[in-house]
Structure 1
């Protein structure tokens, strides 16, 4: 039961994430202005996507290590 609730939590967290604003100071200075709202949103989205990849890699590697350790315990 605990495993299924954990999986459900991660699925819900993935699909119902919060809208985040992630700009460095330099990007904010260049794109800061009323006329660049669409470009600023595109830069924000790109930064968030680039930030998500390392976290996904850590999760995948962690799950692989977990499976290997679990299989060694059962043998």
Structure 2
């Protein structure tokens, strides 16, 4: 039970931190500076939205692999 609560807390804190993170390369930064504040925030949200699925998939596969290895040993 303790591990599930810890995992849930880490997951929630990770999601909260992701909202505050800006994920842009230097070219994207220059482009969004020219667009203004509103579109720049939308651009950042889009980048984070597109990055979520591959990262979630990697995390899911990693957890499944870890549980399988733990069960086999």
> The TM-score by the shorter chain falls in which range?
0.5 to 0.7
* TM-score of the superposed pair, with normalisation by structure 1: 0.66
CA RMSD of aligned residues (A): 2.4
Show structure 1 runs of 5+ residues with no match.
Answer: none
Highest relative contact order (Cα 8 Å, sep 6+), 1 or 2? Answer: 2
Show structure 2 runs of 5+ residues with no match.
Answer: none
Aligned residues: 72
Provide the residue aligned with 2:54 in structure 1. Answer: 54
Greater per-residue helix proportion:
2
Rg larger in structure: 1
Q: 1:70: how far off?
A: 2.9
Runs (4 or more) in structure 1 with deviation over 4 Å come to: none
* TM-score of the superposed pair, with normalisation by structure 2: 0.68
